[in-house]
Structure formats: structure tokens, C-alpha cells
Structure 1
Amino acid sequence: MVQACIQQAPRVQNNTRWVKLQERWIKCNVEAGFFIDQGITTIACCARNSNDELQYAQTRQYNLKLSTLEGD
């Protein structure tokens, strides 16, 4: 009888957290997704002000087969 040994990956503590922006600053976050087999590329972005209020958001899907290098 063979017993399987499952090893758990060590936990990584992430200390990243939101830091309030300077007054009158805007922060923009962007993300892209690449679905090569389907020939689809997606993008999303959002902008927040120094009070962490959402100012703008957008998502789009393109019927393009882009690589991660081309999409960046």
C-alpha cells in the first residue's frame, strides 16, 4: 500500500495595505487578463481620490489574441 504525503506550502505574510494619498491626488489601478485559447484580452481600471472614494471605473473585452508582453 502506498501512502500519499501532502506537503503544505509555507504561508507568506503580506503586509501590504492601503496608504492614504496626499490631498488632491488620484491613484489609478489597472489590470489585464489574457485568454489566449479564446482569443480574448480584457482590461479593467479604477481611480480613487485621497479620501478613497471611487472616481472612475471601466472594464473592456477585446477580441484580440495579445501576449502578456504586447498587453503590458
Structure 2
Amino acid sequence: MSSRTFTVGGMTCGHCARSVTEELSELPGVTDVQVAVDSGQVSVTSEQELSRDAVAAAITEAGYTIAEWPSAN
């Protein structure tokens, strides 16, 4: 399992969180998505490491942008 937390810019409400969750959940291997609208933090758990490009494409499809992508620990 792999887990990654990053910041998404532009989210302001529950609808935003649902859109981001829906798009990220469609990525292969994703098992859980947690979104905190107030901080913009998104945590994704998947069966394998997700590429930044795949995550960025899903976030863009939802109508938002990745504001911060920390390096892996």
C-alpha cells in the first residue's frame, strides 16, 4: 500500500471535495481518498505508488490544481 498527502488549490465546499474524491477514486489501485476542504489537504491511499502526472490529471479533470506535492518520505 502507498499513501500520499498533497494540497489542492481552489476547493471551497463539499461539492468540491466530492468532485476531487470522485476523480481520484477512478485512478487504478486507489482504495481511499480523504479530503479536508478547509486546509485543501487530500490524502490518497492506493495499492501502488501513484504518479504526480496521473494525480494532477485527475485533479485538473475535477476543476482544480495541485498546489503542493511534497516529496516522498
Q: TM-score, length-normalised on structure 2?
A: 0.28
Instruction: Name the structure where helix makes up a greater proportion of residues.
Output: 2
Greater CA radius of gyration, 1 or 2? Answer: 1
Instruction: Name the structure where strand makes up a greater proportion of residues.
Output: 1
- Asked which structure has the greater RCO (Cα within 8 Å, sep 6+), the reply is 2
